[in-house]
Amino acid sequence: MSSRGDMPAWADYVLLPLINLLLAFVLSGLVVLAIGEDPVRAMRILVEGAIGYPEAIAFTLYYATNFIFTGLAVALAFHAGLFNIGGEGQAYVAGLGVALICLYLDFLPWPIIFVGAIALGMAFGAAWAAVPGWLQAKRGSHVVITTIMFNFIAAALMTYLLSNVMLEPGRGAPETRRFIASATLPSMQTMLGWIGIEAPRSPLNFAFFMAIAAAFLVYVYIWRTRWGYALRVVGQNEQAARYAGIDPAKTIIVAMAISGALAGLMGVNEIMGAHQRLLVAFTGGFGFVGIAVALMGRNHPLGVCLAALLFGALYQGGAELAFEMRAISREMVVVIQGLIILFCGALENMFRPWIATLFARHKAA
């Protein structure tokens, strides 16, 4: 990215996002003021609700887990020049893969369920993304269109299965029975209990560590392996890639499959960790937020993790805000979240030229 040449990396990765974030908060404060509430108090509730006490931190990290997975999925595909906006559907179908093992093969020993369910979840997510990848590589159908269409196909398929086939009889909600304990991921509460630390109940579970590991592995894959190099070359210039002996079609399909598997891990977090049963619409828009997370994190795994933390905090703090201040409805919280996405994602280039000029002047002087 040559446009970044004029400013140091710290300004690009730290200063610029901070300025954008600050501006988003100032604007949000004005909105809160406009509806007649105290913006300082709102901000305090938001921050305290997100990181003020152990349970809040656990929820923030739980949401962040989802965002790390979906953010990485978008970021990885982006390096191959692909815009995967089908994380929602890929995670949804991955939930099915997880549930198939956790529901119907739960007589197996625990380690086999553990590995099998995660693997099948990732495989389902990968397959759901590989088809649009194949269509892009071989038929030229744009992944933006096909992945979003696949979201709808996933929703239709899952609602059908849950309403007709997998539903627990006599229950109002279209969802399966709860998995048995040995077919779930251990919760953070349980894991901390093993080492004698008492933790509050929350949906935070083992998948959090998987998310950190995934971020590290994605970094290694993209910047430290031949495949990652091929991926980046295809993303930058397909012609050059072909000239260098790289098969763009294969690279695109593989990139989409890995991206889908990463999105699928969000399904693992939700289904095997948090809900411990398969239910309708569990993805709840986390797949789409992953796009904003990747944009804000500059498609770098570390950036994605930090952005995911911010979004996790916004989700959790936002829920507390709606809870504590009656005048601030859930729509207001969405407005605040929207402003942050707008400034950090869509308008991220607004201040770039000014700051670049500043640095250039500084250098010249």
Partner 1 sequence: MKTPVLAAAFALAIAGSAAAQTPPAVMFDIGGKFDRSFNQAAYDGAERFKKETGVTYNEFEITNTAEREQAIRNLARRGASVVIAVGFNNHAAIETVAKEFPNVKFTIIDSVVDLPNVQSVTFREHEGSFLVGMAAALTSKTGKVGFVGGMDVPIIRKFYKGYEEGAKYAKSSVEVFMNMTGTTPTAFRDPTRGAELARGQFDRGVDVVFAAAGATGTGVYQAAKDAGKFAIGVDSNQNHLHPGTMLTSMVKRVDIAVYEAMTQARAGTWKPGARALGLKEEGVGMAIDDNNKALLSADVLKRIDEARQAIIDGKITVTDVMR
Q: List the one residue from 22, 156, 180, 212 that touches partner 1 (CB under 8 A).
A: 156
Q: Which of residues 162-181 bind partner 1 (CB under 8 A)?
A: 163, 167, 170-175, 178
Shorter beta-carbon distance to partner 1: residue 12 or 175: 175
Using the rule CB under 8 A, which residue among 183, 322, 344, 356 binds partner 1? 322
CA–CA separation, 245 and 249 (whole Å): 12
Query: Which position among 97, 203, 273, 317 is part of the footprint of partner 1 (CB under 8 A)?
Result: 203
Q: Residue 48 burial by CB count (10 A; 0-12/13-18/19+): exposed, middle or buried?
A: middle
> How near is the Cβ of 305 to partner 1 at its closest, in Å?
20
Q: Smaller CB distance to partner 1: residue 146 or 269?
A: 269
Closest CA to 92 of 279, 275, 293: 279
Distance set, CA 57 to CA 203, 204, 216, 307, 323 (Å): 11, 10, 22, 15, 17
Q: Least CB distance from residue 329 to partner 1, whole Å?
A: 7
Q: Kindly report the number of other CB atoms within 10 A of residue 224's CB atom.
A: 9
Confirm if 242 and 248 have CB atoms less than 8 A apart.
yes
> For residues 340 and 282, what is the distance between their CA atoms, to the nearest angstrom?
24
Nearest approach, Cβ of 364 to partner 1 (angstroms)?
A: 50
Handedness of CA 80, 86, 88, 92 (dihedral sign): negative
Residue tagged 């998987």 (tokens): 210
Residue 96's contacts (CB-CB under 8 Å, 6 or more residues apart) are 124, 158, 161, 278
Contacting range for partner 1; rule: CB under 8 A; set: 39-47, 132-140, 247-255, 274-282: 274-282
69 in contact with partner 1 (CB under 8 A): no
Both structure tokens of 261? 């598997």
- Pick the stretch among 36-44, 122-130, 132-140, 157-165 that binds partner 1 (CB under 8 A): 157-165
8 binds partner 1 per the rule CB under 8 A:
no
What sections of the chain are H helices per DSSP? 9-10, 16-34, 39-51, 54-79, 87-104, 110-134, 143-160, 188-194, 207-224, 226-236, 238-243, 248-267, 286-296, 301-324, 330-341, 352-364
Q: Residue 150, interface with partner 1 (CB under 8 A)?
A: no
CB closer to partner 1 out of 284 and 353: 284
Q: How far is the CB of 281 from partner 1 (least distance, A)?
A: 5
* Shortest Å distance, C-beta 15 to partner 1: 32
Work out which of 192, 280, 342, 358 binds partner 1, going by CB under 8 A.
Answer: 280
* Residue among 156 and 220 whose Cβ is closer to partner 1: 156
* Residue span 281-320 as binding mask against partner 1, x where in contact by CB under 8 A, dash where not: xx-xx-----------------------------x---x-
Number of residues that bind partner 1 (CB under 8 A): 39
Q: Is 8 helix (H, G, I), strand (E, B) or coil?
A: coil
Cα Rg, the chain, nearest whole Å: 21
List residues binding partner 1 (CB under 8 A): 53, 59, 62-63, 152, 155-156, 158-160, 163, 167, 170-175, 178, 201, 203, 270, 274-275, 277, 279-282, 284-285, 315, 319, 322-323, 329-330, 333-334
